[in-house]
Amino acid sequence: MYVPIILGTGREGRESEKVARFVLSEAKAYGFESEILDVRDYRIAATDNTQATAIAKKLASKIDKAGALIIVSPEYNHGYPGELKMMLDLLYQQYAGKPLGICGVSSGPLGGARVVEQLRLVAVELRMINIREALYFSNVRDCFGKDGGIKDADAWRKRAKIFFDDLAKHAGAFGRKP
């Protein structure tokens, strides 16, 4: 099953990229076909007539074939990045019925809990299926070593497996092959 990972920030020096790369590696190990869809690659100048742009068509082709989606997003000022909102707003129908797993990222102790909650509300409007499980990367700068690898890999792999099991279960319940 194809499960793309949306990397929700284009900020320079983003810690979320390390998280997205870890999630990508684990998703592939789990058996998903996956890739990172970076907001940097789907930027638009405005929200007018976005469905007709080449960027929207490129994104639509990827979302159409997805059996489920994962969003990795940092929490900025108790919310999610505007560029992620614009990327999500490029489409509507393509998201309907897709299970969604969310990974919150924060430099603080809450692990992006507020961004996860806010994105769940947006997902409801996009008619996506929120899974119960989420991955929370608290104090993200402490989660990875200088080489970019995740610390305490076994514990994170166990959490990721629970997350992927929930995502695959929901995809299977809605006719997608896990």
Chain segment 8-27, per-residue pLDDT in tens: 999 999 999 999 999 999 99
The β-bridge partners of 150 are 144
Within 8 A by CB and 6+ apart from 93, the residues are none
Containing 5, the helix (H) or strand (E) segment is strand 5-7
Query: Using 50, 70 and 90 to split pLDDT, how confident is the model at 164?
Result: very high
Of 143, 129, 154, the residue nearest 70 (C-alpha): 129
Query: Using 50, 70 and 90 to split pLDDT, how confident is the model at 43?
Result: confident
Tens of pLDDT, residue by residue over 131-154, are 999 999 999 999 999 998 999 999
The CATH number that domain 5-173 falls under is 3.40.50.360
Burial classification of residue 152, based on how many CB atoms lie within 10 Å of its CB (0-12 exposed, 13-18 middle, 19 or more buried): exposed
Domain boundaries, the chain: 5-173
